[in-house]
Structure 1
Amino acid sequence: MQTQTHELRFTTTEVRKRFLRWSDGEADREWRCLNLIWEHAPGVAPRPLRRETESGHPVVIMERLPGDPLGDKPLTREQTGSLGQTLRRLYRIPLEHINSAGISERPYGPSTLPQALSGWLSKTNDFSRCQNPKQVAVGVETALEWLSRPDALPSPRLVGLGISDLNPANIVWDGQTCRLVDFEDGGLTDPAYELADHVEHIAGRLTGVFNPASLSEAVGLSEVERERMRAYQPLWAAFWLVMLLPGNSGFLRNAPGTTEAQASHLMKLIG
């Protein structure tokens, strides 16, 4: 899994985002999402300013937002409320405008991730570098068995725009308002699927940044949508188990025992 897709340069008023390649379309997704949001939900994300090419690389220049990225502490009530309102505004951008902007399903969206995960989990893995190889192996087997169930996941829905990557570092807080940055993986999605992704993101879950119940309430999910969110959480827990396996970048970036803890968390969600 590639961990670096871009380089950032800042001025007092602008952020210059230089992408390392054209092939995966990150620059196009970012530009289209930012323009759509600026037209239909201004203030949710940076205002797009211009596009350039630098040394053969695509560049997106956007306004620099006030405030600082959120860290590794649980959100306050005010932050949760503001983030919920910001996400709600994002999800309410009309579907016809998303389609007319040429924005397709997000990478690893609800129609593609389950099959991809089954393939990743089915690969022959060497768990010997884990602290408890048996526990990790059981976690992988449990995930594969769960994914094979016909009733494990809701039917995919593509009804709104999502940011995809809600690493807490992609939420800028100015003391009153949460705004979102990094839409290179943005695209069509299901709000319940997005929130499951967000609360299971390893960068936020291990430090308790998001409270799943509080965030889903702040976004305004219905009870049916909350059930869909809970159904999708094991999917994203399995995704992070894959990322934490030996040979993937998350294994080296996290403390020993994190993979075992993730396997345990996944099995608890599956029940």
Structure 2
Amino acid sequence: MIDTSAKLFSMTHSVEISGRTLTKRYASWPRDEPAREWAALTVLSRAAPGLTPTPLELSTDPTPSLTMTVVPGEPLGGSLTSAQTTALGDALQSLWSVPVDGLAPIDLQALVDRTRSGLVALRDTDGVIAEAARTWLDNEPTDLTAVHDPVVAHGDPNLTNYLWDGARVRIVDFEDAGLGDRTVELANLVEHLSWRQTDPTSLVRRFSADPARFRAARCLWAGFWLTLIGPGGPSADRNPPGTAEAQAQRLLRLVAG
């Protein structure tokens, strides 16, 4: 099974459920993740009630924790049904329709810098992984840091963060959330490793992103994933043999257009 738990900065948090409330205790918070999650859930619970947990309390003593309501549903995964894909699209539509006032911006430049640095390290390895790294570096995606279509950026579109109750999808885990760009967020979702068994075509058509900008964003995220699961990456040993090579081939196809 492919491991899709890696985040922009890998971390592990503890979760305690008591009745209808859940308390998340943060193990690390280099980018002020507790405040990001609190801010996003506060905005979303007011503007789109029922889409996400409702935040109840943010504590910093002795370490940061956030208490919120529990939302129903089971994590999505594998190959989605048509109904699940449509419901996920509805959830994303709701998410991306909420005003972004008061949210800290996503630091996309940090992602670009980390991806470039990781691929520089991979270009001197062997085989298709090295080829993909060199190809990306020779054809670096165009600048995506300007926000063209501001949305609430979830930041972590792992399928397990979308809960399906048989009728609708709700969204959880907003520690990476902030103000982002819709096309970049759509590309983040499409290129997430958890999506390999599901065709995202209907979602791409639904949100009709600019083709050139969408392709550039997909190349960025595909390169990022190669740095995660390639040799020396934080998730290199968590996936079956051949996963990194398959990602390298995917990256080459994306860059080629």
How far apart are the structure 1 equivalents of 2:211 and 2:82? Answer: 19
| Post-superposition offset of 1:153 | 5.1
Asked if residue 74 in structure 1 is aligned to residue 72 in structure 2, the reply is no
Question: Could you say if the C-alpha distance between residues 137 and 87 of structure 1 is closer, same or farther in structure 2, counting changes exceeding 3 Å?
Answer: same
How far apart are the structure 2 equivalents of 1:92 and 1:227? Answer: 23
Identity %: 35
Asked if residue 161 in structure 1 is aligned to residue 152 in structure 2, the reply is yes
How far apart are the structure 2 equivalents of 1:140 and 1:215? Answer: 28
Asked if residue 259 in structure 1 is aligned to residue 250 in structure 2, the reply is no
TM-score, normalization by structure 2: 0.89
How far apart are the structure 2 equivalents of 1:247 and 1:228? Answer: 30
Asked if residue 136 in structure 1 is aligned to residue 154 in structure 2, the reply is no
How far apart are the structure 2 equivalents of 1:104 and 1:113? Answer: 16
Asked if residue 221 in structure 1 is aligned to residue 219 in structure 2, the reply is no
Contact between 1:50 and 1:62, CA under 8 Å: does it hold in 2? yes
What does residue 11 of structure 2 align with? 4
C-alpha offsets along residues 174-201 of structure 1, whole Å, 9 cap, x if unaligned?
0001010000000111111101001111
| Post-superposition offset of 1:227 | 4.6
How far apart are the structure 2 equivalents of 1:193 and 1:22? Answer: 24
C-alpha offsets along residues 79-99 of structure 1, whole Å, 9 cap, x if unaligned?
1111111111111112xxx23
What does residue 174 of structure 2 align with? 183
What does residue 5 of structure 2 align with? none
SS at structure 1 position matched to 2:152: strand
- Which residues of structure 2 form unaligned runs of 5+? 1-7
What does residue 49 of structure 1 align with? 56
| Post-superposition offset of 1:125 | 6.6
SS at structure 2 position matched to 1:57: coil
Contact between 2:123 and 2:134, CA under 8 Å: does it hold in 1? no
SS at structure 2 position matched to 1:8: strand
Contact between 1:70 and 1:168, CA under 8 Å: does it hold in 2? yes
Question: Could you say if the C-alpha distance between residues 171 and 47 of structure 1 is closer, same or farther in structure 2, counting changes exceeding 3 Å?
Answer: same
SS at structure 1 position matched to 2:202: helix
How far apart are the structure 2 equivalents of 1:173 and 1:124? Answer: 38
Matched letter for residue 214 of structure 1? S
Asked if residue 90 in structure 1 is aligned to residue 95 in structure 2, the reply is yes
Matched letter for residue 7 of structure 1? S
What does residue 63 of structure 1 align with? 69
Question: Could you say if the C-alpha distance between residues 52 and 112 of structure 1 is closer, same or farther in structure 2, counting changes exceeding 3 Å?
Answer: closer
C-alpha offsets along residues 49-79 of structure 1, whole Å, 9 cap, x if unaligned?
112245x2101011111111112x2211111
Question: Could you say if the C-alpha distance between residues 63 and 155 of structure 1 is closer, same or farther in structure 2, counting changes exceeding 3 Å?
Answer: closer
TM-score, normalization by structure 1: 0.84
Query: Among 224, 228, 234, which residue is 2:219 paired with?
Result: 234
Contact between 1:162 and 1:187, CA under 8 Å: does it hold in 2? yes
How far apart are the structure 2 equivalents of 1:105 and 1:230? Answer: 22
Runs of 4+ with deviation above 6 angstroms: none
| Post-superposition offset of 1:122 | 1.9
C-alpha offsets along residues 228-269 of structure 1, whole Å, 9 cap, x if unaligned?
323311111111111112222221001111111111110011
Matched letter for residue 196 of structure 1? A
Question: Could you say if the C-alpha distance between residues 248 and 172 of structure 1 is closer, same or farther in structure 2, counting changes exceeding 3 Å?
Answer: same
SS at structure 1 position matched to 2:167: coil
Contact between 2:122 and 2:133, CA under 8 Å: does it hold in 1? no
| Post-superposition offset of 1:20 | 1.2
What does residue 26 of structure 2 align with? 19
How far apart are the structure 1 equivalents of 2:255 and 2:195? Answer: 20
How far apart are the structure 1 equivalents of 2:211 and 2:124? Answer: 36
Aligned pair count reads: 248
- Which residues of structure 1 form unaligned runs of 5+? 128-132
Contact between 1:22 and 1:57, CA under 8 Å: does it hold in 2? no
